[in-house]
Every structure is written in structure tokens, then in C-alpha cells.
Structure 1
Amino acid sequence: IRCSVWREAAVRFFAEIEEGKVYLISRGQLKMANKKYTTLNNQYEMSLSNDSIVQASQEQDSAMPAIRYNFVQISSIAERPTNSIVDVIGVASGISAVSNITSKSGRELTKRTLTLSDDSGASIEATIWGQKASTFPDEGTPVVALKGMRVTEWNQKSLGSSNGSFIEVEPKSEAAAKLRAWWDGGG
């Protein structure tokens, strides 16, 4: 579920919440999701305020389900409409250096472009932004699972991450093992 936090509450919870951990939340507000601003396939979203309470759960791993992906083959992305949201898994067959650009609004943005390949025989460029770009491995050919990537088009289809995208390097899954075997076997 998407959870939004604003102003002072955002500062407070930013220091307390870690990606991938499980939390118990009370005094939050649930409402219908605004599909314009979310990449998640969920009818609801949550917002927190200064009155909200967030506590780390004692049941961190086995009690909670893993991230649910709905992977599409890279070859099928060419048929997807621009601005649609997809989950994709592929081998990072190319990894650019991190670069910084200035947006039209004057904000400094960090980006990295990956070339993703899968066993459909297709490849696609995927741009990741911000902290996700800075912390992505510089070398190798890792298998990468990307959730909530936006289909963009500039001469050809490509993918772009947003704040709601999730990027998992070398996921522990059957799909990742299959791609690793395909790539290591000559791709």
C-alpha cells in the first residue's frame, strides 16, 4: 500500500522507517487511491500525520508476504501504451555511470541508465533516479527486478522509475534464477 506523509511528520518518520521492514501503524487515514499518483495496484492508500503511531513489528521476515510482482516480458513493452506501469525482471547487461542533470524547475537530479535484457531476446533502457541510482551496483550483470516502472517513449520505448518504484538487485526468486541461468548460458 502507498503511504504518504507530509511536513513535520515526514521528517519524524523518515528517520524511523526502513525499506523492507514491517511496521504496525495506528492513527493513519485510509482513502481510495488516486491512480494518477500511484504505481501500485491497490485500491487504497494511507496517509500519516503527527498523531500517527508507527512501531517496528517483531515479526519481520516470515510472517509477511514478499513483494508481489506482475512481470512482463521486455519484448511486450513495445506494445504497451506510454505512461502505463509495468513490473519487469531482466539482466542488467549495461550499466551507465551515475550522472546529474538539472530539471526544468531547477532541481538537481541524479540518474543512472540500465540496459535490461531477458530471455524474450529483447532489451530496453530503464532509467532510475535519485538514491536508487546512486546505490545501484556499478559493475557486473546483476539480475534486477523492477516494480512500478513507467513506460516512456523518446524515439523508442523505455522505462523510468518514480518515487513509488521498487528496485531489487539479485532477488531470490525462481524467475531470477531462470534468467541468471539463461544469461550465464550465453544469453
Structure 2
Amino acid sequence: MYVEIPPEDIPYLKPHLQEGKIVDIKRFLVQRAKNIYKVVEAPYMIKLTQRSIITPVVPEPPDFLKYVYNLIPFSELPHHANLTDRFLDIIGYVAAVSNVAKVRYGYGKIQTKRIFILKDDKGNSIEISLWGPRAIEFDAETVYANGQESAVIVIFVGTLAKTIKTEKGDKVILTGTSACRWYINEYIPAINEFYAKG
């Protein structure tokens, strides 16, 4: 299941939630999952409110599953282009990373953006654009430094596939905003398997 917090309740609950930390949650609602922007394929979701009680689990169980993803092969990405029913998760090695840039989009709005080129184990590539705070939060300098010694394998979760127009025709890219996260060279099965293929 995945969890949602209504915007008005975020200021109350955010101090009690931190990525990677295990918590005990009481007083929450269980609802049918929405038809758009699903994080995981599940019929139900949890909704937290100001009445929810969140307590850290101490000590944390050593074998608690902390990573959830449903990897999509590069070849299937065109089938998900311009759809918003679910977020997409993908794995690959970082072939290139841009600096953060300010770009103008929509009706003259300015936003920060960083572009990656990710390659799969067959050599296929996909462009990923991180927007807003996610573009700044990604530690590109460390990734670049580590990439000088060995491949940097990343799982991006919470992306959307979009079609953009180019001089060579339509092109599918991935975008990541506030829902996007990443796991870099973590000791998790999918990354270990990817390394083994290389």
C-alpha cells in the first residue's frame, strides 16, 4: 500500500516522517487507491490526517524491507508515455549528468532542471529530467566522482514517461518531480543483479 497526506496536514506530520526510517502509524484511514499517480499497484491506500499518531520504531528491525520498486524495462516505456495512471520505476547506469539549469516553461515560469542519460544492461538509453528541488537534491558531483572508478547504478522510482517533439521525431523521456526518489549503488537485489550482468 502507499500513503497519502492531504496538503493541509503535511505541516503537522512531516516532522515525524523521514525517508528510510521505520515508524509505527496509528489512527489512519484506509481508502480505495486513486486511479492516477499510483506509487504501487494496490487496490487500497492509507490516508494520514492530523489525528494520525506516528512513532519511531527503536531499535529498527535489521531485516525490515526498506526499498519498494516495480522496474519497467526500457522497451516498455513507450507504452506508458503520457499516461498518469501510475508512476514508473527504472534501473540503469548513469552515462551522463548535466549541471542544474534554470529553464523557462509553460507560461513563462522558471524552474530548475537537471538531465541524466541512463543506460540499461543492453546499452539502450533514456533521458531523465529531474525538476525543482529534486534537480538540486541529486548529488551529481559524487555520482560523477564515483563513476570515474566504476559504473554508478541507479534505481529511479516515481517517474512519468512523456513524449516530446525533436528534429528526429517523437522521443520518449522520463520526468521526475516531488514523487521521484533514487537509490544509488545501494546493496539491494536489483542493483546487485545489474552489476552481475555487466
Q: Counterparts of 1:149-168 in structure 2 under 5 Å?
A: 149-154=159-164, 155-168=170-183
State the partner residue of 1:11: 11
Q: Would the alpha carbon gap of residues 43 and 95 (structure 1) be closer, same or farther in structure 2, given more than 3 Å must change?
A: same
Match of 1:39 in 2: 39
Q: CA deviation at 1:94?
A: 0.7
Structure 2 vs 1, CA of residues 48 and 78 (structure 1 numbering), >3 Å: closer, same or farther? closer
Deviation at 1:80, TM superposition (A): 4.1
Q: What's the counterpart of residue 167 of structure 2?
A: none
SS at match of 2:16: coil
8 Å CA contact 2:5, 2:49 repeated in 1: no
Return the alpha-carbon distance in structure 2 between the equivalents of residues 60 and 165 of structure 1: 25
Aligned residue number for residue 123 of structure 2: 121
Are the structure 2 counterparts of residues 42 and 99 from structure 1 closer, same or farther at C-alpha, using a change threshold of 3 Å? farther
Provide TM-score, normalisation by structure 1.
0.82
**What is the match of residue 62 of structure 1?**
62
Any idea what SS the aligned residue of 2:5 has? strand
C-alpha displacement of 1:13: 1.7
3-state SS of the aligned residue for 1:88? strand
* Preserved CA contact (<8 Å) 2:132 2:177: no
Mapped partners of 2:97, 2:175: distance in 1: 14
Deviation, structure 1 residue 180? 3.9
Task: Report the residue type matching 1:23 in the other structure.
Answer: V
Aligned residues: 182
% identical equivalent positions: 22
Q: 1:12 to 1:79 in 2, by over 3 A?
A: closer
**Does structure 2 conserve the Cα–Cα contact (< 8 Å) formed by 1:128 and 1:160?**
yes
CA distance in 1, matches of 2:23, 2:42: 18
Spell out the pairing of 1:105-116 with structure 2 (5 A cutoff).
108-116=110-118
| Deviation (angstroms), 1:25 | 1.2
Taking a change above 3 Å as real, the CA distance of residues 170 and 147 of structure 1, as seen in their structure-2 partners, is: same
**Larger mean Cα displacement after TM superposition, 77-86 or 30-39:** 77-86
Shift of 1:157: 0.7
Which stretch shows the higher mean deviation, 72-81 or 134-143? 72-81
Letter in 1 for 2:184: V
Name which of structure 1's ranges 100-109 and 21-30 shifts more when overlaid on structure 2.
100-109
- Residue of 83, 86, 89 corresponding to 2:91: 89
1:105-129 deviations in Å (ceiling 9; x for gaps):
6765332111000112200001122
> Alignment RMSD, CA only?
2.4
Q: CA deviation at 1:182?
A: 5.6
Aligned residue number for residue 134 of structure 1: 136
Verify the 8 A CA contact 1:75 1:120 in the aligned structure 2.
no
The answer on whether the counterparts of 1:22 and 1:59 sit within 8 Å (CA) in structure 2 is: no
Distance 1:106-1:59 versus aligned 2 partners, 3 A rule: farther
Is the contact between residue 116 and residue 127 of structure 2 (CA under 8 Å) also seen in structure 1? yes
Larger displacement relative to structure 2 (135-144 or 89-98): 135-144
Residue identity opposite 1:158 in structure 2 = I
The one-letter code of the counterpart of 1:165 is: C
Aligned mates of 2:81, 2:171 — CA distance in 1: 12
